[in-house]
Chain A
Amino acid sequence: MIAELFAGVSTRARVLLVLLAVVMLAAPLVLDRYLVSVLILVCLAAYTGQAWNILLGFAGLLSLGHALYLGLAAYISAGLYVHFGIGPWLGVFPAVAVCVAVAALLGWLAFRFRIEGVYFALLTIAFAEVARIGFDHIGFTGGAGGFFLPVRSEDQGQWWNLRSGPTFFYYLALLLAAGAFLLCAVLRRSRLGHRWLAVREDPEAAQALGIHINRARMSALLLSAGMTGIAGVFQAFYANNLFPSQIFDISRSIDLILAPIIGGVGTLFGPILGAFVLAPLGEVLISITGAIGLNAPGTKALVFGLFLMAIIAGVPTGLWPRLASLLRLRSVGR
């Protein structure tokens, strides 16, 4: 299966891919704690970017509310752990199930009533906002004051409860990112992936070729939501604190989609490249603005925004297609 994936890939691309894998696997051995934490952000952004890219890049549906699934799964898995002692490896199942169920409701509403394009995006924002405001009032998970996972030294090393050091989280995030990449590569070649692309390009023409539009869209939505949910569980146990005003916020939804947009919507490697550019960029900006004494609030966001504008103006289809042609990685055919 995996070998088949690389059938149409050039030798040059294979070498680079193996090289990247080796570097990523070896990174924690040479890097300090801080840099490993940056790499965790990179891997997580690459993972959530792939999940969101399935929806827009493959199936043509714009979600601006993916923080919903991140937050729901984070709260559910954290709640199960804190209140019932159910660990995240088990808790991930109900968490993802709820994400998928909520996505099914959203999809049913949208597809049943033919809410498309920008209006679909608005619906996704509305769902996330409802959750943000709702969780402010759920005392069981701390309400607006936040929900905290206990960080006790005696729990350290309990990998089965995701109570472990950064190296462990790093490899977990790397596994998620690599898994999502491979999954998307498989999907891109699958029948389902082709259905998504057809519906993205022209729903009516797809339908005339025997493709059920809503089934195709729904499958992309459920998969994307479920995958994002897994990242939410990771987020809860990695950050150890959850605030509705952060995890469900629209700015979080935007954060989730920047990597694939910068890297290239609809490409397999775009979300990864975008994550590698964005997460370190944010960190570098913090240290630079700090070092030169530009501590005015918003400075970092302003410079970050300018960078994004420059990238989008320079390469509107994303960095990856440009880089791939520079490196001559484009393979012919499928």
Chain B
Amino acid sequence: MTLLAVNRVTKRFRGLVAVDNVSLQVDAGAMFAVIGPNGAGKTTLFNLIAGVFPPDTGTISFEGERIDRAAPEHICQLGIARTFQIVRPFAELTVMENAAIGAMLRAPDMDSSYAQAGEILRRLDLWDKRDRKAHGLTLPDRKRLEVARALATRPKLLLLDEVMAGLRPTETDRMVEILRGINREESITILMIEHVMRAVMALATRVHVLHHGATIAEGTPTEVTRDARVIESYLGAEAFA
């Protein structure tokens, strides 16, 4: 079943075509990765899905319902949560409060928001830091908090924008494990932008490759990494260095 359908979407910024006629379909339960070099339009695509701005042409549907003109808060209420590539924690609030603000979207009251937030912080290895203010966290912890807060809104679809960036290999493996758990146990569909191929290969069921805003390939991780154009435009150095 298709959960998210992006259909021939284009977005221009002052003549620059950031996303060029991109279509993709994310099936329920999938771990879908969007990869591509810097400036390929990945984050713009995320912002379009999350409702930060509308597409110039094309449509986006979630569970069969058009969302390409909906506001970000409405899209979150429908069940799509996102993280920000450049993390945006509520700096002066505690880690616990950050997560509870995510959880209160669906929790009946604040007590259960905090209870749910606590569970999610345990899951993301942040429980011991729950009473710290978010501005005091290290970058890996802020990345985890970003995921925790989005997850706390109990989404059906989780948009992850480079959550592995800046993590050490062991931390990456731990995050891969956490995300796999979220995907399997909570049956949350994941759409991720990721540069860390180690994570993509370990997690993704399907990979979509963007270059200069346009799609150049889509397939399973193995298919995509063998694609000549993908190797040339993106993987080249990384895959064979």
A and B from one complex = yes
Enumerate chain A interface residues (CB-CB to B < 8 A).
189-191, 194-195, 197-198, 201-202, 204-213, 266, 332-334
CB distance from B7 to the nearest CB of A (A): 23
Q: Which of B20-28, B98-106, B173-181 contacts A (4 or more CB under 8 A)?
A: B98-106
Q: Is the CB–CB distance between A207 and B73 below 8 Å?
A: yes
CB distance from A35 to the nearest CB of B (A): 38
Chain B contributes a number of interface residues (CB within 8 A of A) equal to: 33
3 smallest A-B Cβ distances: which pairs? A201-B90, A210-B76, A205-B88
Q: Is the CB–CB distance between A209 and B101 below 8 Å?
A: yes
Interface residues as binary, B112-135 with A (CB distance below 8 Å gives 1, 0 otherwise): 011000000000000000110000
**Could you jot down 9 A-B contacts, CB within 8 Å?**
A191-B113, A197-B101, A198-B101, A208-B81, A209-B76, A210-B105, A210-B153, A266-B92, A333-B131
Q: Is the CB–CB distance between B73 and A212 below 8 Å?
A: yes
Q: Which residues of B contact A198 (CB under 8 A)?
A: 90, 93, 101
CB contact under 8 A between A208 and B77, given known A190-B110, A332-B131, A334-B114:
no
Q: Is the CB–CB distance between A191 and B104 below 8 Å?
A: yes
How many contacts A-B (CB < 8 Å)? 79
Within 8 A of A (CB), among B39-87: 50, 52, 71-73, 76-77, 81-82, 84
**CA A106 – CA B50 in complex, angstroms?**
30
Q: Which residues of B contact A213 (CB under 8 A)?
A: 73
**CA A334 – CA B93 in complex, angstroms?**
10
Q: Which residues of B contact A334 (CB under 8 A)?
A: 94, 96-97, 100, 114
CB contact under 8 A between A201 and B91, given known A209-B153, A333-B131:
yes
Query: Does B143 have its Cβ within 8 Å of any Cβ on chain A?
Result: no
Q: Which residues of A contact B102 (CB under 8 A)?
A: 209
Q: Which residues of A contact B93 (CB under 8 A)?
A: 197-198, 201
12 extra interface residue pairs, beta carbon distance < 8 Å, beyond A191-B104, A204-B72, A334-B114: A194-B100, A194-B104, A194-B113, A202-B88, A202-B89, A205-B88, A207-B72, A208-B72, A208-B76, A208-B150, A209-B81, A210-B105
**CA A98 – CA B82 in complex, angstroms?**
41
Partner of B97, one of A197, A205, A209, A266: A197
Q: Which residues of B contact A210 (CB under 8 A)?
A: 73, 76-77, 105, 153
**CA A201 – CA B145 in complex, angstroms?**
15
CB contact under 8 A between A206 and B101, given known A201-B90, A333-B131, A334-B94:
yes
CB distance from A317 to the nearest CB of B (A): 10
Q: Is the CB–CB distance between B131 and A194 below 8 Å?
A: no
CB distance from B104 to the nearest CB of A (A): 5
Query: Does B11 have its Cβ within 8 Å of any Cβ on chain A?
Result: no
**CA A209 – CA B151 in complex, angstroms?**
10
**CA A333 – CA B81 in complex, angstroms?**
26
Q: Which single residue of chain B is at the shortest CB-CB distance from A4? A: B111
Query: Does B208 have its Cβ within 8 Å of any Cβ on chain A?
Result: no
Q: Which single residue of chain B is at the shortest CB-CB distance from A213? A: B73
Q: Is the CB–CB distance between A209 and B149 below 8 Å?
A: yes
CB contact under 8 A between A197 and B131, given known A206-B101, A209-B101, A209-B153:
no
**CA A198 – CA B130 in complex, angstroms?**
17
CB distance from B203 to the nearest CB of A (A): 22
Q: Which single residue of chain A is at the shortest CB-CB distance from B77? A: A210
**CA A167 – CA B47 in complex, angstroms?**
60
CB distance from B12 to the nearest CB of A (A): 22
Q: Is the CB–CB distance between B91 and A205 below 8 Å?
A: no
Q: Which residues of B contact A191 (CB under 8 A)?
A: 104, 109-110, 113
Q: Which residues of A contact B88 (CB under 8 A)?
A: 202, 204-205
